[in-house]
Amino acid sequence: MNSFDDLGLAEPLLRAVRAEGYTHPTPIQAQVIPAMLAGRDIVGIAQTGTGKTAAFTLPLLHAIAQRGERPAPRRCHALVLVPTRELAAQVADSVRAYGRHTRPSVALVIGGARPGPQIRALSGGVDLVIATPGRLLDHMGAGAISLASTGTVVLDEADQMLDLGFMPAIRRVMAALPAVRHTALLSATMPKPIRALANDFLSDPAEISVAPASRPIERISQTVKHVDGATKREVLVDLLGAPQVERAIVFTRTKRGADKVSLHLQKAGLPAAAIHGNKSQGQRERALAAFRNGGVTVLVATDIAARGIDIDDVSHVINFELPNVPESYVHRIGRTARAGKSGTAISLCDPAERGLLRDIEKLIGRSIDAPDGAPPAPAPARPEGADRGRRRNGPPSRPRAARPAAPVQPQASGRGAGGAAASDAPDDGLARMLAGTEGRGGAPAPRGRGRGRSAGSTGSGPHSSGSQRPVRARGGHGA
């Protein structure tokens, strides 16, 4: 297929495509669009940035335009399931752009937004519902939407929905659809659970696997800086202050970490905003809008929140923290080098993250350059007993004279529950700890519900200054 005119799309859609500046379909579009127009089920494997959103929205809009009838109340003709709010908004933008001349009715059903307006939008029936699985199930349970007459369903970023634990919810949604329908499943990878989902819910699908003409990872300059964790923020400020950094996305593993890094950058005079799962939908949209229009030049994000960020002019991606899941590294750096441009990805790696770096290098099949040199080798372990009899900063100490033995005191007659005399209980702290009695007076130390909190911790709330909460490592998706 040399042009969109050859794909069989309705003329109003072709006019909208030309208005967007596109004349030739990408490889994934050239194969998926005709197959969907022919009514085939689809299994499409394509990376981010290959044009797959238009690949399924254009045939959906074509089918809706050809149908020419409004859906019944609380029903929809087609459904698109996506893993994140940002990706849902991106799909909705594409539908509005390509459907400007056909004007389909669309409902955006996502978490983080008030359910009332969504329920009202669904009440009269809509042509297309774009939804995240959790909120859609909420509305289905409340009777706000029925999928009994939905003829087409698209599962976009299926592997990401698997990573986020959405498979049970997706199976519940799929079970509510008619037995006879058209289904398209699009994914960057095809792990076994996604293949099983395809086998269970697709009928004789056309399998389409497309690699971009020039893979984004080949157009990205990748480097790593080995730094101490305590100096990461200062190094980050120096990197972002360089004149060649036009627009950057900084990735952290946790939501709280994203807020802290964003605040540090703002205090350093760098316009930054944070985006993660604890932000309201309005806050996320305002942060993205400011990033797009240049109001802020640095967006600090978690992995989940960054899905669906489709901005062409991101010059740099900086991994403030390496992801726990190596595949997330590829998704992260794919936010740059879009629309045929080149980009730069810099990872800050502290000693505790070197194992994660090795996993990433194994996945991408190459070592990541370290312009500042390899990490320093760990100091050799001292021989056991090398420090005995030696002061920290001086010559060996003189041996102390042995103390005279203390006179034996009369023993108490009481005995513990274990049958040993009370005087047999260990005296020193180490022995008490080994015996499980590191409390006051030899009593066992009380165990609080929070790990890592001793009996003497001050403060009871999660934000008390005297309490320390353990940081739980999450997958590359801690939004």
Where are the extended beta strands (E) located within 262-372? 272-275, 298-301, 316-319, 343-349
Given a cut of 80, is residue 465 above it in pLDDT? no
Q: Do 240 and 193 belong together in one domain? A: no
Pairing of strands 220-226, 298-301: unpaired
More confident residue, 98 or 214: 98
Q: What is the identity of the amino acid at 380?
A: P
| Rounded CA separation 170/155 (Å) | 9
pTM to 2 decimal places: 0.64
Q: What percent of the chain clears pLDDT 70, i.e. is strictly above it?
A: 75
Given a cut of 90, is residue 346 above it in pLDDT? yes
What pLDDT sits at residue 457? 38
Q: What is the CATH number of the domain that holds 28?
A: 3.40.50.300
Given a cut of 60, is residue 183 above it in pLDDT? yes
Residue 196 CB contacts under 8 Å (≥ 6 apart), including other chains: none
More confident residue, 107 or 428: 107
pLDDT in tens, 394-420: 444 444 444 444 444 444 434 343 343
What pLDDT sits at residue 258? 96
| Rounded CA separation 281/135 (Å) | 13
Q: Do 15 and 116 belong together in one domain? A: yes
Residue 336 CB neighbours (<10 A): 25
Give the residue from 317, 344, 364 where a domain finishes. 364
What pLDDT sits at residue 4? 95
| Range 458-465 average pLDDT | 39
Q: Do 148 and 220 belong together in one domain? A: no
Give the residue from 210, 234, 265 where a domain finishes. 210
| Rounded CA separation 461/429 (Å) | 29
Given a cut of 60, is residue 345 above it in pLDDT? yes
| Range 20-30 average pLDDT | 92
What pLDDT sits at residue 55? 95
| Rounded CA separation 463/476 (Å) | 25
Q: Do 192 and 220 belong together in one domain? A: no
| Rounded CA separation 172/134 (Å) | 10
Residue 457 CB contacts under 8 Å (≥ 6 apart), including other chains: 448, 466, 467, 468
Question: Is 410 part of a structural domain of the chain?
Answer: no
Give the residue from 340, 364, 388 where a domain finishes. 364
Q: Do 33 and 118 belong together in one domain? A: yes
* DSSP-assigned states of every residue in 81-93: E-SSHHHHHHHHH
Band of the pLDDT at 217, cuts 50, 70, 90? low
Band of the pLDDT at 145, cuts 50, 70, 90? very high
Band of the pLDDT at 1, cuts 50, 70, 90? low
Residue 23, classed as helix, strand or coil, is: coil
Question: Is 438 part of a structural domain of the chain?
Answer: no
| Range 103-125 average pLDDT | 95
CA distances in angstroms from 268 to 236, 243, 261, 290, listed in the order given: 11, 16, 11, 19
Band of the pLDDT at 441, cuts 50, 70, 90? very low
Residue 221 CB neighbours (<10 A): 14
Token match 């790990």: residue? 451
Take residue 159 and report the two structure tokens written for it: 């592997």
Q: Which residues pair with 106 in a beta bridge?
A: 128
Lowest mean pLDDT among 184-188, 254-258, 342-346: 184-188
pLDDT in tens, 270-322: 999 999 888 888 898 899 999 999 999 999 999 876 666 778 789 999 999 99
Token match 């390899």: residue? 374
What pLDDT sits at residue 335? 86
Q: Do 347 and 240 belong together in one domain? A: yes
What pLDDT sits at residue 247? 95
Q: Do 17 and 157 belong together in one domain? A: yes
Q: Which helix (H) or strand (E) holds 248?
A: strand 248-251
Query: Residue 124 phi/psi, 5° resolution?
Result: -85, -5
Question: Is 124 part of a structural domain of the chain?
Answer: yes
| Range 131-159 average pLDDT | 95
Question: Is 222 part of a structural domain of the chain?
Answer: yes
Q: Do 97 and 243 belong together in one domain? A: no
Q: What is the identity of the amino acid at 26?
A: T
pLDDT in tens, 371-381: 887 776 554 54
Question: Is 177 part of a structural domain of the chain?
Answer: yes
Buried b (16+ CB within 10 A) or exposed e, 110-127: bbbbeeeebbebbeebbb
Q: How confident is the prediction for the chain on average, in pLDDT?
A: 80
Q: Do 143 and 256 belong together in one domain? A: no
Q: How many domains does the chain have?
A: 2
Q: Do 235 and 91 belong together in one domain? A: no
What pLDDT sits at residue 77? 97
Closest by Cα among 371, 49, 322 to 221: 371
Give the max Cα distance, the chain.
Answer: 105
Question: Is 284 part of a structural domain of the chain?
Answer: yes
Pairing of strands 106-109, 220-226: unpaired
Given a cut of 60, is residue 433 above it in pLDDT? no
Given a cut of 50, is residue 18 above it in pLDDT? yes
Question: Is 450 part of a structural domain of the chain?
Answer: no
Given a cut of 60, is residue 184 above it in pLDDT? yes
Q: Do 172 and 26 belong together in one domain? A: yes
Closest by Cα among 13, 36, 16, 31 to 151: 36
Q: Do 29 and 167 belong together in one domain? A: yes
Range of the domain at 243: 216-364
For the chain, the distance separating the N- and C-terminal CA atoms, rounded to the nearest angstrom, is 40
Question: Is 469 part of a structural domain of the chain?
Answer: no
